[in-house]
Structure 1
C-alpha cells in the first residue's frame, strides 16, 4: 500500500511517500480501506517533533473508510460498511473502559499517528470499539473529520453543559475544530463570539453562525464585545482551542462561575493561571480530550440531519501531504484540510 511516513521531524518536506505491506487484521481487528484522512494541528506538532512521533511514523487520526476485512472473533456485520473512526483504539477491559471513559484508556493499541500507524495511508487497522457506521448521505471527506474536527468541539461544549442562551467565546475559531465549535454552539442556541488571527476568515465564521468575530483582539476588545452581546459580567463558556497564545484572554473573558474548556495547545508551553481571578469569579477549568464513539455517533447524526455542515476546506491527493501541511501551517485553510488516497 502507499503511505506517507516521516523522514525525521521538521518542515513539511519530511513527509515522504513510501510503500508498506497492507496490515493484516488479527483477532478482533477490522481492516479499513482509507477513503479520506483529515490533517489536524496535532499532526503538525508531531511532524515538528513536539510530540512522540519520529522517523518512520505514519501520521493521521481523522479517518473514514470502508471495512474490507475482519479478523477472527469479529462478526461480519460491519464488512463493506462505510465507517468513521475515533482517534484511539481502546482496550475495552481496563477500569477506564469499564467506566465508559475510553478516551482515557492507556492499555489498548493507542492513538493513530502516535502509537499506531495512522491514516496517511491506504489501509489501517481498527476494531468495532472505535468505529461508527456512516450513512450514504455523508461523503467520505466529511466523514473523515467528524470525530476530531466535529466531535472534539461537541465533547467540549457538552463538558461545559452549554445550553440555549449561554454566551460562548471560541478561540482559534477559524481552524478545523473551531469552525465546527462555532456551528455547534449556534445550534445549541448560544450567542457565539469567534476569535481568529486571520481577517480572511471573518465572513466565513459569520456565515457559520458566529454573532461576532474578533481578529487578534486584546482583552478589552473581547470584554466589550461580550458586554455588547448581553454578557454584562462576562461569557458563560470559553472553548480554548489554541492554548498558550489565547489562554489568558479566554480566562479573563469569563463572567462569574464561567467555564473554560481547554481543548487545544498549539504551542506546547506552561500556561499562566491567575489564582486570584479564578477564586474571586469561582471559575471552572475543564480539560477535554478527543471524541469517543458516543460523541462521534452524535456528530454523525447532527451532520446527517443537516444541523451541522462539515467544513472540509480543501482536499489533496495522499502524495501531496506536504503541501497540505504547508497550507495549514500558513493559515490558508478555513476548516479542515483532507487527504484523499
Structure 2
C-alpha cells in the first residue's frame, strides 16, 4: 500500500511516499481503508522529534476517517463497508480510568500515528474498540475532525469548563484548528465568545464561525480590552490554546471562580504564575486534552445536526503531506488541512 513515511526525524522534507506492506488485522482488530486524514499540529511536533514518539520509518496521522474493509477474529458490532472515525488514543479498557469512562487518562496506551502506524497511508489497523461508526450525513473530510479537534473542543468546553448559557468564554489562538471549533461548541452551549488573535487578517473567519467579539492584539496584551468588553466583570472560562505568550493575560481576564482550561503548549515553554491573582479571585486551572468516547459521540451529534461545521482550510492529496506540513508550520492555515486521495508527485 502507499504511505507517507517519516524517513527520519526533522523537517517537512522528511516525509516521503513509499510502498509498505498492507497491515493484517489480528485478534480483536479492524482493518480500515483510509478515506481522509487531518493534519494536526501534534503531527509536526512528532515529526520534529519533540514528543519522543515516532522514529524513522513511522507513519504519522491520528485524525482518521475511513471505511471498514476487514474484521479480525472476535470482532462484533461493525460491518464491512461501514464509514467510521478512529478514536486516536489507544486504551486498555481494563484499568480504573477506562472503567470510569476516562479513556483519555489510560496509562497503558499510546497515540495512533505516534506509537503505532497511523493514517498517512491507504490502510490502518486498530483495535475494534477504537472504531466509531459515523452518521451517514457526515462526509469523510468532516468525520476526520470529529475526534481531534472537535472532540477535543467538546472535552474542553462541555466537560471540563462546563460552559452554561450566558457565560462568556475567551479563546486564545481563535483562528487555529482548535479555536475555530471551540467557538462553535461554546456557541452551541449558549455562551458569548471573545476570540483573541494577533492577526487582523484572521478576524473575518473568527467572526464567521460565531465569535461575538474579536480582539486583535499584536503584542498579546489583551486583558484590558477584554475587561472593557465584559463591563469589568471578566469571563467565566478561558480556553488557552497558546499559553506560552498569553497565559498571564488570560488569567487576568477571568472573573472570580473562573476557569482556565489549558490545551496548548505550542512553544514548549514554562510560564509564570501570579499566585496572588489565583488566590484572590479563586481561579481554577485545569488541563484538557484527548476526548473520551462520550465526548466523541457528542461531537458527532453536533456535526450531524449542523451545530458545528468542521473548518477545513484546504484538501490536498496524501502525496502533498510534506508541503502541507510546511504550510502549517508557517502558520498559513485557518482550520485544518485534510488529506484525501493519492496522485503521482
Find the counterpart in structure 2 of residue 311 from structure 1.
311
In 1, distance between residues paired with 2:61 and 2:318? 11
Give the TM-score of the pair, scaled to structure 2.
0.94
Find the counterpart in structure 2 of residue 27 from structure 1.
27
In 1, distance between residues paired with 2:7 and 2:111? 20
Unaligned 5+ segments in structure 2 are: none
> C-alpha displacement at 1:30, in angstroms?
0.7
C-alpha distance 285-318 of structure 1, shift in aligned 2 (>3 A)? same
In 2, distance between residues paired with 1:17 and 1:198? 35
In 2, distance between residues paired with 1:219 and 1:119? 35
Unaligned 5+ segments in structure 1 are: none
> C-alpha displacement at 1:162, in angstroms?
0.5
C-alpha distance 324-219 of structure 1, shift in aligned 2 (>3 A)? closer
> C-alpha displacement at 1:220, in angstroms?
5.5
Find the counterpart in structure 1 of residue 157 from structure 2.
157
- In 1, are the aligned partners of 2:199 and 2:218 still within 8 Å (CA)? no
> C-alpha displacement at 1:38, in angstroms?
0.5
Deviations 1:47-71 (A, max 9, x none): 1221112211211110100011111
Give the TM-score of the pair, scaled to structure 1.
0.95
Find the counterpart in structure 2 of residue 324 from structure 1.
324
Find the counterpart in structure 2 of residue 271 from structure 1.
271
- In 2, are the aligned partners of 1:61 and 1:119 still within 8 Å (CA)? yes
SS of structure 2 residue aligned to 1:100? coil
SS of structure 1 residue aligned to 2:257? strand
What are the within-5 Å matches in structure 2 for residues 1-341 of structure 1? 1-52=1-52, 53-75=54-76, 77-108=78-109, 110-158=110-158, 159-217=160-218, 221-230=222-231, 232-341=232-341
- In 2, are the aligned partners of 1:45 and 1:266 still within 8 Å (CA)? no
- In 1, are the aligned partners of 2:101 and 2:292 still within 8 Å (CA)? no
In 2, distance between residues paired with 1:30 and 1:183? 32
In 2, distance between residues paired with 1:13 and 1:216? 33
- Which deviates further from its counterpart, 77-86 or 221-230? 221-230
Deviations 1:167-212 (A, max 9, x none): 1110111111110001111121111111123322110111111111
- In 1, are the aligned partners of 2:150 and 2:181 still within 8 Å (CA)? yes
In 2, distance between residues paired with 1:254 and 1:284? 10
> C-alpha displacement at 1:281, in angstroms?
1.0
How many residues are aligned here? 339
Deviations 1:257-309 (A, max 9, x none): 11000111111122222211111111101111111221111111111111111
In 2, distance between residues paired with 1:226 and 1:188? 22
SS of structure 1 residue aligned to 2:60? coil
- Which deviates further from its counterpart, 270-279 or 133-142? 270-279
In 1, distance between residues paired with 2:14 and 2:220? 38
